[in-house]
Structure 1
Amino acid sequence: MIITALRNWRPAAGELVEWHPSEDALGAARTAGADADPGTFLQDNHIRGIWAKSRSAAPHTAYLAVTTDVDGVLDPEAMSRALVRFVRRHGGLRTWFTTDGATVTRSSIRADEVAFEARSVGTTAGDSEFRDYALARLSAEALATSWPGFALGAVARTDSFTLYYGCDHALSDGASQAMALTELLDFYDNEAAGEALGPYTSTPTGGFADYARAEHDLARSFDLSSPEIVDWVDTFRHHGNSMPRFPLDLGLPPGTTAPMHGIEFDLLDDTGSAAFADVCRAADGRYLAGVLAAVAVTDLETAGRREYYGMTVVSTRGRGDFLLTQGWLCNFAPLSFVLDGCASFAEVIARANDAYDRALRLARAPLPSVLTALLASGADPLAVMTSPNMLSYMDFRRFPGVGSAPYERAMLFTGEGETANASMWFNRDAHHLYLGCQSPSTPFAQRQLARYHAHLRDVFATVAATGDYPISATTDREVAVARHHG
């Protein structure tokens, strides 16, 4: 499985099949009342964002999707039964939200009310024609303001089919998407051919409503004096009461965005990735610490940043029996460490590793508790609520289904809206380490990113080839300033 740009999704021609709730299931959703169970902070904030965006008539792009090619003839009815089992297993997928822009109300249907039907809706020539159709469907249906907040479809052929699943971000995250098709196809194989369920699909998993209640309980245990909250506030204040930004100027005025352009490229092949891991291990650091060190060195040598400051995604699935739960189960935490006194990449790894240990500790604090504390400290609300430049790392060797043909063929992508950041998503699998970057599409931003990414690739390549990377005493920025004044 790879995370890739939407433009790389090019299924072959075939029959279009969609799955939709039965009339009885839709009737149950129409008559459902409000739930007593709350949503999470991320869900509520996301739903308010959807409501605000709907006022501009802009298309919905805040979804995640995954697709793969499957050998064999599609059995639509077996897939209908598999989808029912999948949605009954995951209560979060039986949920939807309504809002007036302020109050968010959660509703759901019971597991025994879930039913789906397959529909043939024509044919497709594939490639760009299919993408246009699929994107229109995902924008309209993978929307958590009604049920279901996801869409399942296929392109059926005589000997194979392309399966795709898209879900509103309120109901899913990257890890959920990485597991969704594996679980669906496990149920499908069981329904179509009687094959035994795999160990992950047959294992009970916690419900997202339980996770949401646990988050609210946890938030009540934190206050302004909690060590994690104090550390969050100190970190934010130390960095000018601002969220992390990309180190180079991307040419966008404050508060503005541009259409998102996805950038994707390999950093290391399997041999280079293994060598890079050895370097990290020798320095007593995790692989992610090496990734952070490479980024920090690149920030220093291209932008003169002697202290790395970023924001990372931390999984919260370990807070209970939620390892296999479908939902949005993550938190965010700042990463910060200085490079002063380090002469080489290897010397930075330990600092990066310590910074990630600290980030894991800070991620224990629920985001609403953190934001409340930041505002109470006097930080500008606009600065607090600004979307930060993110750094994420996922190891796709560790998910259920790894090694199977559908998993290895799978592609994960997101809707493409607008951005002011150049967030970086580092991903590792058995074949390579690669980078995905969601960036502003302006020519100036793309020139800046080309320079930055070329430098980053050089750091990774040098470490993998030689075991280290000497940090330059003179940064690119200092060279540029010297040339200007010369």
Structure 2
Amino acid sequence: MEFLQILDAHVEPGALVEWIPAAAGGMGAWRRDPRQTSHNHEQHLRSALDYRLRTQREGGREAWLGVSVDFDEQISLPAVRKAILAWIDRHEVLRTHVALTEQGTDRYTTEPGAVHLRDARVGWYSDPTLLIEQIAGSFDRATAPLHWPAYRFATVARAHSFTLLFAADHSLVDGYSLVNAHGELRELYRAAAAGRAPRLPPTGSYVDFSGSERLAADAADDRHTAAAEWREFLDGRPTLPGFALVPEPPASAAPGGPQPPAQPSYNDLLLDDDATRRLEQRCADLGGSLIGGLLAVTALTYRRHSGATRFATVMPRHTRTQADYHGSLGWFVALAPVFLDIGDDPDFVQALERVMISLDRAREGASLPIRRVAELLSFPPDPKFVVSFMDTRALPHAELADAGGAHALRSHTYSDDEVYVWFTRTPGGLRIHARFPADTPGHPTATVLQAFFADFTRLLASIAAGG
């Protein structure tokens, strides 16, 4: 399943309809919900509010994730409507909203069946570029996190096929939400079109998880083992480490001033399934794992290109430890601090050993939300260099998605100092998706990063082949 920036995606042209959730009477009839907000969600909302106040803009801070699902059949609009409404009823996170207050947050929630859909028939598109630009712009505007709904659906229909698209602000979904979503939406549509009950297991609510996670995290203090791991990760620095090849950004722009250009992307199938299996086996023979091997190769490439003596990155870890939440929509993510010494120019075997030690310790670092750790240790909780890994092979319809039947999507991003790398193990092999700062006068950052990833790809292929 490819992970693509929306403007890099291809949707076959056709008739575009946008499906807009709404609630009768607005949110005034929703009940006040005592369940607390996760640290992730509150931090995200406060960052959005800060951006609005600082720049006097709503746009330019897009942070949505989404999915596109292809169907090889003529569209049934009543079945689409029924499927979307069933999905909204299934996942409580789509029927709740968090409002910021001076003291904290207030949550409001409504019951299954309270949300309806308004369909807006935008028109017929024959140009795929204009179509994707229209969808991207609509999703950008619809997913503002300070409002409900911070999500939207769309369909693009042709004579004998159609595509269903969904986008939501990151506060509502994470990576596993996307790879679960395409299978659920496919099954809900099939059931609606056939007039049968959907064959989906029950799922828990992210709102329940948020409340329990918040209570546990707020009870922790700076003696927590996670705080100790993050102290060592920071290594005396006042902020989270960035990527050494990215120059320090200029001072913050004045309100309403210019923003950085949109970040470019890097996408590639790094290894096919056979080569990935060989890499997995080599890592296992050395006492490591696939993600350990990927981080080791990243660290070695980092050393070659930067001359740095320390490799440090933040790594997302899912928090879906209870079976009830395996299929839930939500932001079930903790961040783990991963770091190792590379000053002695280690080889792959040495780097892998050090990475595995760091990954073992990183589990403790991820046992508290980063925003809570940042409160305890007084550092800004915004990561600048992130490496993510996800294995989708065991998920429903994984082969169909990997063959192009579904794509994970994200918004374009504006940042002059963030580097994010996503590795995905799929039935077809190993994929990479990355974003990084654009070239600017005097700073060819994107050009430098493209060379970095090309070198990483060559080194990984060499190691997978036994080199």
When normalised by structure 2's length, the TM-score is 0.90
Query: Structure 2 counterpart of 1:42, which letter?
Result: N
Post-superposition Cα deviations, 1:17-40, rounded to whole Å, max 9, x if no partner, equal 222336xx2325343253222211
Q: Summarize the Cα distance change of 1:26–1:262 in structure 2 as closer, same or farther, 3 Å threshold.
A: farther
Aligned residues of 1:251 and 1:445 also touching (Cα < 8 A): no
Aligned residues of 2:82 and 2:192 also touching (Cα < 8 A): yes
Mapped to 2, the partners of 1:315 and 1:308 lie a distance apart of 22
Query: Offset at 1:404?
Result: 2.9
Q: Summarize the Cα distance change of 1:171–1:149 in structure 2 as closer, same or farther, 3 Å threshold.
A: same
Correspondence for 1:430: 427
Query: Structure 2 counterpart of 1:286, which letter?
Result: S
Correspondence for 1:378: none
Query: Offset at 1:386?
Result: 4.2
1:83 and 2:84 matched:
yes
Task: Map 1:50-449; keep pairs closer than 5 Å.
Answer: 50-55=48-53, 56-59=56-59, 60-99=61-100, 103-194=104-195, 197-198=198-199, 202-236=200-234, 238=235, 240-250=237-247, 252-253=249-250, 257-319=260-322, 321-339=324-342, 343-375=346-378, 381=379, 384-404=380-400, 408-419=404-415, 420-442=417-439, 444-449=444-449
Q: Summarize the Cα distance change of 1:219–1:4 in structure 2 as closer, same or farther, 3 Å threshold.
A: same
Any idea what SS the aligned residue of 2:113 has? Answer: helix
Query: Offset at 1:263?
Result: 1.8
Correspondence for 1:479: none
Query: Offset at 1:70?
Result: 1.0
Mapped to 1, the partners of 2:298 and 2:269 lie a distance apart of 15
Aligned residues of 1:15 and 1:122 also touching (Cα < 8 A): yes
RMSD across aligned positions (CA)? 2.3
Post-superposition Cα deviations, 1:344-400, rounded to whole Å, max 9, x if no partner, equal 21232222122112112221123333112211xxxxx4xx24432111111222322
Any idea what SS the aligned residue of 2:384 has? Answer: coil
Correspondence for 1:35: 33
Aligned residues of 2:242 and 2:418 also touching (Cα < 8 A): yes
Any idea what SS the aligned residue of 1:318 has? Answer: coil
Aligned residues of 2:384 and 2:419 also touching (Cα < 8 A): no
Post-superposition Cα deviations, 1:127-185, rounded to whole Å, max 9, x if no partner, equal 11111211221122223333322111101111000111000111111111221121112
Query: Structure 1 counterpart of 2:384, which letter?
Result: P
Any idea what SS the aligned residue of 1:225 has? Answer: coil
Correspondence for 2:13: 13
Any idea what SS the aligned residue of 2:397 has? Answer: coil
Query: Offset at 1:424?
Result: 1.3
Aligned residues of 1:48 and 1:101 also touching (Cα < 8 A): no
Mapped to 2, the partners of 1:422 and 1:397 lie a distance apart of 26
Q: How many pairs are equivalent?
A: 454
Query: Structure 1 counterpart of 2:136, which letter?
Result: L
Query: Structure 1 counterpart of 2:52, which letter?
Result: S
Mapped to 2, the partners of 1:49 and 1:160 lie a distance apart of 40
Q: Summarize the Cα distance change of 1:271–1:89 in structure 2 as closer, same or farther, 3 Å threshold.
A: same
Mapped to 2, the partners of 1:223 and 1:296 lie a distance apart of 32
Aligned residues of 1:18 and 1:118 also touching (Cα < 8 A): yes
When normalised by structure 1's length, the TM-score is 0.87
Mapped to 2, the partners of 1:215 and 1:46 lie a distance apart of 16
Any idea what SS the aligned residue of 1:171 has? Answer: coil
Q: Which shifted more, 423-432 or 100-109?
A: 100-109
Query: Structure 2 counterpart of 1:229, which letter?
Result: A
Mapped to 2, the partners of 1:253 and 1:54 lie a distance apart of 19
Unaligned runs of 5+ in 2: 254-259
Query: Offset at 1:194?
Result: 4.1
Report percent identity of matched pairs.
24
Any idea what SS the aligned residue of 2:321 has? Answer: helix
Aligned residues of 1:81 and 1:116 also touching (Cα < 8 A): no
Q: Summarize the Cα distance change of 1:279–1:101 in structure 2 as closer, same or farther, 3 Å threshold.
A: farther
Aligned residues of 1:88 and 1:112 also touching (Cα < 8 A): yes
Mapped to 2, the partners of 1:299 and 1:82 lie a distance apart of 46
Mapped to 2, the partners of 1:97 and 1:44 lie a distance apart of 8
Aligned residues of 2:229 and 2:361 also touching (Cα < 8 A): no
Aligned residues of 2:91 and 2:329 also touching (Cα < 8 A): yes
Query: Offset at 1:342?
Result: 7.1
Mapped to 2, the partners of 1:214 and 1:10 lie a distance apart of 40
Aligned residues of 2:370 and 2:381 also touching (Cα < 8 A): no
Mapped to 1, the partners of 2:455 and 2:250 lie a distance apart of 25
Mapped to 1, the partners of 2:38 and 2:206 lie a distance apart of 9
Unaligned runs of 5+ in 1: 376-380, 469-486
Mapped to 1, the partners of 2:222 and 2:21 lie a distance apart of 46
Q: Summarize the Cα distance change of 1:98–1:365 in structure 2 as closer, same or farther, 3 Å threshold.
A: closer
Correspondence for 1:476: none
Mapped to 2, the partners of 1:209 and 1:392 lie a distance apart of 24
Aligned residues of 1:19 and 1:116 also touching (Cα < 8 A): yes
Aligned residues of 1:95 and 1:108 also touching (Cα < 8 A): yes
Query: Offset at 1:280?
Result: 0.7
Aligned residues of 1:51 and 1:100 also touching (Cα < 8 A): no
Aligned residues of 2:399 and 2:427 also touching (Cα < 8 A): no
Mapped to 1, the partners of 2:454 and 2:402 lie a distance apart of 33
Mapped to 1, the partners of 2:285 and 2:197 lie a distance apart of 42
Q: Summarize the Cα distance change of 1:104–1:239 in structure 2 as closer, same or farther, 3 Å threshold.
A: same
Correspondence for 2:257: none
Query: Offset at 1:316?
Result: 0.7
